[in-house]
Amino acid sequence: MISETRLNIDIKEYLDNKKSLIDSHLKKTFDPDFYVKPSELWNAIRYSLLNGGKRIRGILCIATYESLIDLCGNNQPKNFEDHITTACAIEIIHAMSLIHDDLPCMDNDDLRRGKPSCHKAFSESTAILAGDAMLGLAIQQIIENTKYISGIQKLKLINLLTKSFSFGLVPGQILDLSVTGKSCNLNFLKEISMLKTAELIKASVICGGIIAIRNQDNDLIENLSSYGLNLGIAFQIVDDILDVTSDTKTLGKTSGKDEKQKKPTYPAIIGIEKSKELSFDLIMKAKSYLQNTDLIKSQILLSIADYITSRVN
Ligand code: GRG
């Protein structure tokens, strides 16, 4: 059994560095001199994409890639950036899901990442269309802007990511909306979290594996998948806990909203303490899948797992 990781790695510094890398790559990609008209669309996209966010999904892609490269030996070209491009594509998908999630017909939130939500800053129709365009842009980034990975690797990334939203986020959101204002049991809530939140987190981890290893290692992908899935469910539990225990300023989105909307959440169903225990158990479980591979030597994947339960926003 693996206990909480005590490793001499500065996780905060690592997360900050990789977040800056993703932020600057996205900023360069969506250069206002290049993406100009219609300005309403591109301004809405830049507003929602370049406005912060922890970038944890993109970081997981980069961290998995880097861990595998460390273990397997690095013979990548010096200017290899395909993992960063893919991390950005993942963050584009995530950002579009937040735009749509905030819409009045969905979670109806006026605040996101400490600023008015996209539909508040622009309009509902612009927010919907910006989100639609972003889905295409994410895929286009992988097709056009990855330079070294093979065509097969590109297809695997696209297949994984498109499946994660069509069979994960979207069905998860449908189920989430279907129980709002109603009760549901813990197993059903876990199913929703798995789809709505964990599928994209899982896919982000696997993307790093696909980019690092040209010839697929099914065993490795299975273990990465289980690591990501458990991490993802824990991430949603912590999200639910923070909605109760934190404040709007720290969260950058409206706190206490789940209760107001009568949403079945982990704290609502099993209480805060049991929710915390459950998230810790899932993190332990996630880390145990790394034990099946050489990735157990990856301090960063272990530390990111621990960060999930200690995060404050
Ligand atoms: C992707 C096609 C497509 C549709 C989206 C609206 C929708 C369908 C799904 C909603 C998915 C959703 C918003 C799940 C919640 C996941 C979650 C915990 C989000 C918060 O993520 P953080 O904390 O946010 O990583 P930051 O701002 O740090 O990026």
Q: Which residue has the higher pLDDT, 295 or 180?
A: 180
Q: Which residues of 2-12 are buried (b: 16+ CB within 10 A; e: fewer)?
A: eeebeeeeebe
Tell me the per-residue pLDDT of 78-110, one tens digit each, with 9 for 90 and over.
Answer: 889 999 999 999 999 999 999 999 999 999 999
Any residues with Cβ below 6 Å from ligand 1, and which? 53-54, 56, 93-94, 96-98, 100-101, 106, 113, 135, 165, 169-170, 173, 196-197, 236, 239
Q: DSSP for 115-136, please give it.
A: EE-HHHHS-HHHHHHHHHHHHH
- Taking the CA of residue 239 as reference, the ligand 1 atom at the shortest distance is 18
Tell me, in angstroms, the distance from the centre of ligand 1 to residue 227's CA: 19
pLDDT at residue 170 is higher than 70: yes
Q: Tell me the per-residue pLDDT of 217-265, one tens digit each, with 9 for 90 and over.
A: 899 999 999 999 999 999 999 999 999 999 999 999 899 999 999 999 9
In degrees and rounded to multiples of 5, residue 55 shows phi and psi of 65, 30
Cα atoms in the Cβ-side hemisphere of radius 13 Å centred on 149: 30
What is the residue-wise DSSP string for 87-116? HHHHHHHHHHHHHHHHSTTTT--SEETTEE
Number of the ligand 1 atom closest to the C-alpha atom of 313: 23
6 pLDDT higher than 90? no
Q: How far is the CA of 20 from the centre of ligand 1 (A)?
A: 20
Which residue out of 135, 169, 175, 304 has the highest number of ligand 1 atoms within 8 Å of its CB and is therefore the one to mutate?
Answer: 169
Tokens of 60: 């997981």
Among the atoms of ligand 1, which is closest to the Cα of residue 56?
25
Q: Identify any residues that bridge with 112 across adjacent strands, giving them in sequence order.
A: 115
pTM for this model (two decimals)? 0.96
Atom nearest to 103 CA in ligand 1: 6
Q: How far apart are CA 222 and CA 157, in angstroms?
A: 15
Residue 151 three-state SS? helix
Burial class for 282, CB neighbours closer than 10 Å (0-12, 13-18, 19+): buried
Q: Which residues contact 11 (CB under 8 A, 6 or more apart)?
A: 300, 303, 304, 306, 307
Q: How far is the CA of 93 from the centre of ligand 1 (A)?
A: 9
